[in-house]
Protein backbone atom coordinates (compact mmCIF):
# COMPACT_ATOMS: atom_id res chain seq x y z
CA UNK A 1 0.00 0.00 0.00
CA UNK A 2 1.70 3.15 -1.27
CA UNK A 3 0.85 5.87 1.23
CA UNK A 4 2.98 8.50 -0.48
CA UNK A 5 2.74 8.88 -4.24
CA UNK A 6 4.70 10.78 -6.82
CA UNK A 7 2.83 10.29 -10.05
CA UNK A 8 5.37 11.93 -12.35
CA UNK A 9 8.43 9.70 -12.81
CA UNK A 10 10.28 12.41 -14.69
CA UNK A 11 10.27 16.13 -15.42
CA UNK A 12 12.33 18.28 -17.78
CA UNK A 13 12.65 22.04 -17.33
CA UNK A 14 14.66 24.77 -19.01
CA UNK A 15 17.34 26.45 -16.91
CA UNK A 16 15.97 29.56 -15.20
CA UNK A 17 12.36 28.39 -15.30
CA UNK A 18 10.32 27.02 -12.43
CA UNK A 19 10.31 23.31 -11.55
CA UNK A 20 7.23 22.00 -9.78
CA UNK A 21 7.33 18.52 -8.28
CA UNK A 22 4.16 17.03 -6.85
CA UNK A 23 3.38 14.53 -4.12
CA UNK A 24 0.13 13.06 -2.78
CA UNK A 25 -0.46 11.11 0.40
CA UNK A 26 -3.29 9.05 1.77
CA UNK A 27 -2.67 8.82 5.52
CA UNK A 28 -4.33 11.65 7.44
CA UNK A 29 -2.06 10.88 10.44
CA UNK A 30 0.97 12.26 8.62
CA UNK A 31 2.15 15.46 10.25
CA UNK A 32 5.62 16.02 8.87
CA UNK A 33 6.72 16.09 5.27
CA UNK A 34 10.15 16.23 3.71
CA UNK A 35 11.79 16.43 0.32
CA UNK A 36 15.04 14.64 -0.36
CA UNK A 37 17.34 14.99 -3.33
CA UNK A 38 19.38 12.05 -4.61
CA UNK A 39 22.30 12.00 -7.00
CA UNK A 40 23.49 8.72 -8.55
CA UNK A 41 25.73 6.64 -6.25
CA UNK A 42 24.88 8.84 -3.27
CA UNK A 43 22.35 8.56 -0.49
CA UNK A 44 19.34 10.89 -0.36
CA UNK A 45 20.10 14.35 1.03
CA UNK A 46 17.57 16.33 3.04
CA UNK A 47 16.35 19.37 1.14
CA UNK A 48 13.40 21.00 2.89
CA UNK A 49 10.57 20.07 5.23
CA UNK A 50 7.18 21.29 6.37
CA UNK A 51 4.98 20.46 9.33
CA UNK A 52 1.22 20.16 9.11
CA UNK A 53 0.67 23.41 11.00
CA UNK A 54 2.08 25.36 8.06
CA UNK A 55 1.05 25.62 4.43
CA UNK A 56 4.32 26.99 3.09
CA UNK A 57 8.00 26.82 3.89
CA UNK A 58 10.69 28.59 1.95
CA UNK A 59 14.44 28.12 1.84
CA UNK A 60 16.25 30.08 -0.83
CA UNK A 61 15.23 28.82 -4.25
CA UNK A 62 13.16 26.01 -2.73
CA UNK A 63 9.58 26.34 -1.49
CA UNK A 64 7.32 23.56 -0.28
CA UNK A 65 3.55 24.02 -0.26
CA UNK A 66 1.18 21.83 1.74
CA UNK A 67 -2.54 21.45 1.11
CA UNK A 68 -3.81 19.25 3.93
CA UNK A 69 -7.39 19.11 2.75
CA UNK A 70 -6.24 17.75 -0.60
CA UNK A 71 -3.46 15.66 0.97
CA UNK A 72 -1.08 17.19 -1.51
CA UNK A 73 2.29 18.86 -1.35
CA UNK A 74 4.54 20.36 -3.96
CA UNK A 75 8.12 21.50 -4.25
CA UNK A 76 8.89 24.61 -6.28
CA UNK A 77 12.41 25.35 -7.45
CA UNK A 78 12.93 28.86 -8.80
CA UNK A 79 15.05 29.48 -10.79
CA UNK A 80 16.00 25.96 -11.81
CA UNK A 81 19.70 25.27 -12.34
CA UNK A 82 21.47 22.38 -14.11
CA UNK A 83 22.88 21.28 -10.74
CA UNK A 84 19.33 20.65 -9.57
CA UNK A 85 19.14 17.66 -11.92
CA UNK A 86 18.58 14.70 -9.60
CA UNK A 87 15.88 12.37 -8.31
CA UNK A 88 13.59 14.03 -5.77
CA UNK A 89 11.78 11.99 -3.13
CA UNK A 90 8.85 13.11 -1.07
CA UNK A 91 8.56 11.54 2.41
CA UNK A 92 6.08 11.72 5.27
CA UNK A 93 5.79 10.66 8.89
CA UNK A 94 3.54 11.06 11.87
CA UNK A 95 4.51 13.25 14.83
CA UNK A 96 6.86 10.63 16.30
CA UNK A 97 9.10 10.77 13.25
CA UNK A 98 10.09 7.16 13.92
CA UNK A 99 9.13 5.85 10.48
CA UNK A 100 9.18 7.62 7.17
CA UNK A 101 7.19 6.70 4.08
CA UNK A 102 8.76 7.63 0.77
CA UNK A 103 7.29 8.24 -2.65
CA UNK A 104 8.76 6.59 -5.75
CA UNK A 105 10.67 9.68 -6.78
CA UNK A 106 10.66 12.16 -9.67
CA UNK A 107 13.73 12.48 -11.86
CA UNK A 108 14.27 16.16 -12.63
CA UNK A 109 16.40 17.23 -15.59
CA UNK A 110 17.24 20.90 -15.94
CA UNK A 111 18.28 21.67 -19.49
CA UNK A 112 20.95 24.38 -19.91
Partner 1 sequence: DAGVTQSPTHLIKTRGQQVTLRCSPKSGHDTVSWYQQALGQGPQFIFQYYEEEERQRGNFPDRFSGHQFPNYSSELNVNALLLGDSALYLCASSRLWTGAAEQYFGPGTRLTVT
Residues in contact with partner 1 by CB under 8 A are 4, 6, 32, 34, 36, 41-46, 49, 89, 91, 93, 97-105
* Whole-number Å distance between alpha carbons of 52 and 87: 24
Q: Specify the residue, 69 or 99, whose C-beta has the smaller distance to partner 1.
A: 99
Q: From the CB of 39, what's the least distance to partner 1, in Å? A: 10
Cβ closest to partner 1, residue 14 vs residue 58: 58
Which residue's CB is nearer to partner 1, number 38 or number 61?
A: 38
Nearest to 34 by CA among 77, 64, 71: 64
Cβ neighbourhood burial of 79 (10 Å; 0-12, 13-18, 19+): middle
Amino acid sequence: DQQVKQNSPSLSVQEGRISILNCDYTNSMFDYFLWYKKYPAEGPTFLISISSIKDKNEDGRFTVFLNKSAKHLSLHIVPSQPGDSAVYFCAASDLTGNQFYFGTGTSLTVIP
